[in-house]
Every structure is written in C-alpha cells, then in structure tokens.
Amino acid sequence: MSNDRTAIAPDQLSPPEAAAEMARLAERVAAADAAYHRDDAPIMSDADYDAMRRRLVALEAAFPALKRADTPTAAIGAGPSEKFEKVRHVVPMLSLDNAFSDEDVAEFVARVHKFLATHGQPITFTAEPKIDGLSLSLRYEAGRLVSAATRGDGAEGENVTANVLTIAEIPQVLSGDLPEVLEVRGEVYMAHADFTALNAKAEAFGGKVFANPRNAAAGSLRQLDPKITASRVLKFFAYAWGEIVPEWEVATQFERVEAFGRWGFPINPRMVRCSSVEEMLAVYRGLEADRANLGYDIDGVVYKVDRIDLQTRLGFVSRSPRWAIAHKFPAEKARTILEGIDIQVGRTGAHTPVARLMPVTVGGVVVTNATLHNADEIVRLDARIGDTVVVQRAGDVIPQIVEVVDDGAHAARPAFEFPHLCQCDLKTALIREETASGEEGKIRRCTGEFACPFQRQEHLRQFVGRKAFDIEGLGEKQIEFFFADPDLPVREPADIFTLAERNAANPLKKLENKEGFGPVSVAKLFAAIEARRTIALERFVFALGIRNVGETTARQLARAYGSWAAFHEAAEKIVAGDAVAREEMDAIDQIGETVIDSVAAYFREPHNRAIVEKLVAELTIVDAETPKSDTAVAGKTVVFTGSLEKMTRDEAKAMAERLGAKVAGSVSAKTHIVVAGPGAGSKLAKAQALGVQVMTEEEWLALVGAG
Ligand code: IVH
C-alpha cells in the first residue's frame, strides 16, 4: 500500500483526500487494536502503530468535522477478551440492588427488619463508599495468592492473575492467623491523579485516551500483556469475600474488613457503622460533599447488614443480597459555557451536532464536549452559542446538556441555525430522514450519496457487495485500497469498469507491481470485473445505494418496471413532480412514500445523476422478468412454513414471485395458500383455524407446473 500521502501535511489535504486517508487509517488502527488487545497477535510494530495513530490524531485535529463518531483514537479501552482463561467463582460474585432516594433507603431498612422479624430490635449497618472501578476476587491458599479473577457474569470471570501480580497494593503473601482458603474481594480502581497522568501521556504520544478512571482501570487490568498493567497505577479496596475454608469465626462485616486491613489489604477509611436510617443518610451526605476531594471516583454509598449471621438469614434475591444496597449519587452536573456547536458527519452521511464546551470538571472528569443528539434537541433546549448550560454526566454515559440557564443575554444571542448543506465540499442538501413508520425523523442526512466523500466509500462497499455486483476479488479491503490509491483511484462505481483500461494506459505504475497484487491476481480481478459488466436489473437497482431501497425493494422495483429505461424514466418523472408516475410507483406491492421520496431525492441530486449516467454507459443491464399474470397462483398470497425438501426457502420464494404470487411471512385472513413442510407449527395451525388452503410442497409444485 502506498504511504506517500502520509508525508503531506494535513493542511495541504482537501477534505475528500483527508476523509479517504482518515477512513483508511481508522480502519487500520482499529484492526491493529483488535489484533493487539483482543487477539494477542499484533499485526504491526509498535513504532508503525504509533506513527499511524499519530497521523490519524493529526488529521482529526485538522479536520474535526471528518472525525468519525466511532474513531479508534477515542477508544475507551480493550473490550472483553476471549483469550483470558475462565475462572468459576465457587461463591458467585453478586451485584447490588440500588436505592436512589432517602425513601428507598428507609424502605430497605424496613424490609430487613420485616424479614428478620426484629420487632423493633436495632440492627447495625455498615456504610462505605461505593468505589467506581471493577470488582476482583483474589484467592489465597495457605496465605499465597494463587489466582485473581474479574467478576465476569458473576458465575465465571476472567483469569487476570498475571496482571494482578503487578499491582503493588495487592499483597501476594499474607501472614497472621489465616484461613486455609481465603477469597478476598474488592474493587480495583484508578486514582484521579494517576488517571490524569496516564491520559496526558497518551495524548502526548498518541496512545489510548480513556474516558474515565473506571474505563482506564478496566482497560489496564484486562491487558493480555502484564507489562502494560504494570505500567499503570492501579489501586484496590477490599470490602467482601468469597470462599473461606474453614469457616471464619469473625462475626461481623466490619470486623472482617478490619481483618483484611491487618493482613495488608487496603481498606476504605470511610467505612463506618450506623444504627439508624438517619445515621446512614448522614454518611451519604458527608461522602457526597467530600466526593470531589477523595482522589478517586465513587458513585454512591453501600449499606450492609453488619452481622454475618443476619446476612446469612437474609440471603439473596436473584443476583443481589437482601442484606445490602447501593445508595447511588444523582448524575453529576456542572455549569459551563457553550462555546460552539460542531457538526460531525458519520459514514452514512448523518449529521450529528456536538457541543463544544468551556472545559469543566464534572465528577472528577474534565468535560470539553457533550452530545446534542440532533437538530431537534438544539431547538428543544434553545441552545445558543455563548449560553450558560448545565452539563450532566452519569456513569460513563457521554456528557449531555440538560438545560440552558438564562444569564440575561440568552435572548440577545442568535438562535443556532443547523446547516442545510452537507459538511463535505460538495455542499449537498441535507434531508430529514424518515423513520420506518413514515414519521419525519430527527436525523439530518446528506443526500449526496455516492457524491458525498463521507458516504462514497460506504456506498462503494455496498456496490461490490454480495447482493449487488458481487465482484470476486473486489471486497472491502480492495475498495479501501483503490479509494486511496493515487494511481488507480476508484472514487465512484464507473471507475471500477475503467480500471483495466487505466492500468494498461499507465505502464510505469502498474497494479501488477504493487504490494498485494501480482499478474495472476490482477488478471483474475479484471476478468471478474468484466464478467459483471452484464448485470441483472434488480442487482443494479440495489447497487445504486438509494436510501431505503434494500434488496427486496430493488427486486420489487425491477420486476414492476422490467427495464432500466422504464425505471429511470419513472424516477425522472417523479423528480419532475409527475403525479401519475408517483401513483404508479405507489401501487407497487410493498412500496410506499418513504421509498418514493428516497428515489426522488436520489435522482434529484445532480452528483448522483452524473454518477449513474457514467455507470450505465459502462454496463449492459438485463431486463427483469416481470411477474406472470396468467399462472395458477398469480395474485395469490402464499406463506411457506416448515422445512422444504426440493428447494430452499429463497428458491421457493423467487419461484412463487416469478409466477406472480406474493410471498408473506405470516398467515392472516388475506393468505390464500399455506405450503407446509415437515415441522410446520403455529403458522399451519393458524391456517387451519382460518380455513386457509394448506398444501404440501409436492402439491404446490404440481399446482405451479414444476412437480
Ligand atoms: S459489596 C455481595 N461494596 O458495586 C455484595 N460492592 O453494583 C458485593 N462496589 O459488583 C458487593 N464498591 O463491583 C460492595 N464498597 C463496596 C463496593 C462495591 C463498589 C461494586 C462492586 C459490585 C457493584 C455492584
């Protein structure tokens, strides 16, 4: 692959050039991330990876509008891996029920009293911070750390022993009066200072920037390479236990955790005992007030019944104990200034507004932007640039703007005008996309389709896909290559069909000599392209990439119009406002306003028209078979159910449709025939109940004359 372009300074690139390079880099960085983190099989050297990533970061900085919502540079750590060995938890790792208000806490305490039938006898609870990290189970045998596992699904976690051995705060050998088997459980977390330092380093060197300390802790612990874990500062608080053999005499939660402290585990200094709801709520208020000064993220307070015998009596409801509850803090909010609204363009042309904010700390995390979802949301909030806004962050949810605060100058500021044109340099008109139910949607989307550089690559992918042109040897990877290749660029579908000719005309830069290609593969590729110069109308219509025109709709259109000329003429007439042409299209089975509007929008767009015209000139489009109207099943609605023996479902469907029948997925009073094979169930029963004609596969084949 050519790397020439990486030498070009970002500000020398045009937006389409940058878009192409960014798409290529994003894909490669994501692939390298997956290979490294998930598959433990790096596909490039660290230096190459760093260079590639830095280039992408630089391009994203130079072209913020082209930054993909799912860019790998914003990745929030490694996902769960299949590569870690699984560990079964002898004692399941449970989660906690939540309380969101004082009343919820009072109800929890009342429930505990009722369950234990205490008749007013006081019960002691512990109260402690709920650490926002990830839980970990540490197994010690004869005082030695033998394994460490994440919670996983509660029953089975990931074996992260090698990584845990690098965490300084976790003791590897315990001394004192110890049970033979001891599982200590608690939370791994990253302190604010260590998190900030890690991200600062990542930003400077183009590494992974984490969204919050919890993601950083999880990403650091779930590394396949313990060296990476070792380079991150992880901390731990012990607050629970799993298997303990022999039974442990220590009778209360509080004393057990204190014992952990004596054995060398960090325990939270804010753990206290309470004997009433009022005391519990006072602890909650105190921790809420101190939250920003703790040095690590907490997201609430956990209350636990102190006596172990009572915990045992209370037991569990599904996956949480009856003896504990997490009293969550409300989502954190902060005020700041809305400095600007950027529009990000996704790969499908969707335009998403993003609020640019004066940096503000919300719960220990600096927030610089927030999602605005869509144009309607800006109107709903009446957010204007310069306004004072309230930003909310809940867990790792993307920060949101929840309200605009009137600072006296709001009314004087101009209302935000959502762009009507695409951010691409073609300045194509944006439409509001309709939802499947026909309601006007909230998403603003570029109608440029193939002409919009953001969407062009995506469309080219569909164009060569299995259900469209299905060109052997021209898959996503090759499309990506040709899209970015300066010598043989493929920027629109017609370019595919001029590849061989252009290659022949440029003997100095032959494709045959490029990495990944050779004379045989190139000859094969060109032959495969030639073979698709003749294409069935339905594939062609689908391949155009008209929004809302999927495979089935394309087939319906192809069958209804029969030829490209007829379909094209109808589309042109609809664009011109011809009501008859519109009605005719509306009359086609399964085709309604959404499709018609999408067809009209597509053919109204000059760039699309030019692209289609060039493409058609390269091809022979084979007419579709129009459905027969003189067969035994013409106009009938048929449902296939159970297994078919002589043909596949797809074949059966295609044959029925060729013969003029309509194939439905469910049985109703409108169904004429149900073809039931072995294993038919509820559909057959329904047909019988409704008195619909039922036949076997043989009977069906005999009826249509194919038996
Ligand atoms: S006790 C059987 N105590 O919160 C109860 N959990 O929402 C075991 N957590 O999975 C949990 N701080 O990861 C407990 N002081 C604390 C906690 C805590 C954080 C986490 C833990 C648990 C989750 C449940």
Which domains are present in the chain?
10-75 (1.10.287.610), 98-328 (3.30.470.30), 333-412 (2.40.50.140), 419-624 (1.10.150.20), 637-703 (3.40.50.10190)
* pLDDT over threshold 50, residue 437: no
Q: What is the pTM of this model?
A: 0.49
Confidence of residue 449 (pLDDT cuts 50, 70, 90): low
Does the beta carbon of 96 sit less than 6 angstroms from any atom of ligand 1?
yes
Alpha carbon nearest to ligand 1 atom 13, residue: 135
> For position 74, what pLDDT does the model report?
67
Distance CA 32, CA 688 (A): 56
CA contacts within 13 A on the Cβ side of 156: 6
At 380, list the tokens: 């709903």
Identify which has the larger pLDDT, 222 or 395.
222
Does the beta carbon of 240 sit less than 6 angstroms from any atom of ligand 1?
yes
Of 387-396, 515-524, 632-641, give the lowest mean pLDDT range.
387-396
Beta strands per DSSP E along 142-180: 144-150, 156-158
Angle at 61 between CA 56 and CA 62, to 5 degrees: 100
* pLDDT over threshold 70, residue 38: no
pLDDT tens string 527-576:
999 999 999 999 999 999 898 898 889 999 999 999 999 999 999 999 99
Q: Which residue of 96, 270, 319 sits with most ligand 1 atoms within 8 Å of its CB, as the best mutation to test the pocket?
A: 96
Identify which has the larger pLDDT, 516 or 338.
338
Which one from 130, 208, 235, 573 is the annotated catalytic residue? 130
For the chain, percent of residues with pLDDT exceeding 90: 52
Confidence of residue 7 (pLDDT cuts 50, 70, 90): low
Alpha carbon nearest to ligand 1 atom 17, residue: 130
* Distances, alpha carbon 395 to alpha carbons 131, 196, 358, 462, 663, in Å: 12, 18, 21, 37, 47
**Is the preceding peptide bond at 266 cis, omega within 30 degrees of 0?**
no
Does the beta carbon of 325 sit less than 6 angstroms from any atom of ligand 1?
no
Does the beta carbon of 300 sit less than 6 angstroms from any atom of ligand 1?
no
Q: Which amino acid is at 294?
A: L
Task: Give 209's DSSP letter.
Answer: P
In degrees and rounded to multiples of 5, residue 325 shows phi and psi of -150, 150
Average pLDDT over residues 627-641: 85
* pLDDT over threshold 60, residue 395: no
Residue with tokens 């315990």: 174
Q: Which residue of 135, 184, 319 sits with most ligand 1 atoms within 8 Å of its CB, as the best mutation to test the pocket?
A: 135
Bridge-based pairing of strands 430-434 and 400-405 is: unpaired
Alpha carbon nearest to ligand 1 atom 21, residue: 135
CA dihedral 371, 376, 381, 385 (to 10 degrees): 70
Output the CA 106–ligand 1 centroid distance in Å.
Answer: 20
Does the beta carbon of 94 sit less than 6 angstroms from any atom of ligand 1?
yes
* pLDDT over threshold 60, residue 113: yes
Q: Under 8 Å CB-to-CB from 24, ≥6 apart: which residues?
A: 480, 483, 484
Does the beta carbon of 187 sit less than 6 angstroms from any atom of ligand 1?
yes
- Mean pLDDT: which of 102-116, 414-428, 510-524, 594-608 is highest? 102-116
